[in-house]
Chain A
């Protein structure tokens, strides 16, 4: 512990410092959380409330128990909690529209249920929610505290910045929310939302109060005056208004929809460029490699409709199904949600430009490589897109795969492949002459132990099983 009595930052989870009443740390595979006296009192109030037990039962709040655990810096926390581990941590800038919408609705419904037990939430960050497969789970248990008569919902501003405005961007403007949230850990300010959403279509639901008035009030009442609570109480603010705010937000968020139906890879699941026999052989190849032993985590890079993620999930705890196309990830998420599949986590991720660390010191929300360690990487029909669309040298692609230390299932479309020819057509002549099977295979052999090589029936695609 530091001489000031503060927890030593380096020993705790880099994302748990904002609320000074509690900190998270890891002990091996265990996720532990220390609560100070204030947070412990809030925890006791929340866990005795009916809404909390019901939410735990449904799996809406992460399973949590009190334990005896030593903190990493010897600090004597009043209470130590242990949370069930989330297989792969993901962030709102990696979620599709419907994932963000479901996380927002989970937050609001928990807040709504809590207030019936006189419990409120002191924040409403999108980072309070995680996904286990296609199920959102609320993880920030110390968010709950007893409601004090006359107080508005503290989490409102954060909810707008990290949930409502990003959802409105996509629903009303067809703007993907991911780059905005990746660009600012605190989300979109009311003023920025106003500037983007204003215009002819500003009459959309929720715009006037949550965006326009919010931005105006923000600029008019810039001071963070705690007196506002007293002033609102004096003006007649009551619990009924708190409830009405949440109820109307639930209706608004639930009614938002994203109409876009076309995207670069939106029709890929037709897979017209594959013969069905090739798909079956690819599926068998993946099943055999992944199935050689029980796997913890598998990455499916360029997962699209999740066909091979589902096969990999037969023998792994979690498959991270990542794709740069937010529409196909959204479709996959909705399919998985409907089928109740929990072993596949969909993620909007451009492998050529993966999530960096964001927030304080670039470490508050760390990059994917620090959150997940795959046993197997499926890189099926992705190398040509990285090499030809994003101009990443094939040697760099292979070096990156090798650095992850995993088994790799790699599909290399040859220079005679139809998709490769299509991608090449948009390129200046001569810039990608090195993209040949012979050249790539030589690079593979320099870096990997080639366990298996299989040419697919069309003879323009080759599968490799690689080990470092």
Chain B
């Protein structure tokens, strides 16, 4: 479903990614792991159109999306979350999710300013749908809170609800478990499975090995900007190259 082909990215003299190829099967949960500085987030940023690669191509289904900006990708059903949670801090939790329905609504400047009947109907619909996505992550009781006053774990969930409101075909989660306690991590694993059950492909970058091994079908291992290996959790765990990359044994 998602293919990144021979991606290379250099920042000045530094090669962050070197000829990396990634294949994500439709309907799967795919993990990307690797030590710090392996280029995981850079790869995410390239796929989601935030960075432009130095070489290589990205395909969504069979369309070349190499140079598509994030807003176009969102309309095509590709959405992501951020490692450092990017909330709309001054807005309420509910409003944050409502922004997620931007691409699902049409009203322009005039119909919004004059509150035309069509816009009022649409606004009601946006609200109802958003509440449903808050239910999905069990956050309805926080709907009226300002997003920047949420505890960290909840803001991660909010980011996921907001992304889900887009009704994406594929969702990329950048370290969704970072900063979560073990109970929250378990809930996250369950949430990711529920997302997949909706037919949505999930890709995640993660440091929490237990989580990755638990939920992913395929794992890609990056090290120092290069793809080390890929395989099932078991294959990856037993791969000597992976072990040495993590433990520093040669």
Decide whether A and B are members of one complex. Answer: no
**A interface list, Cβ under 8 A from B:** none
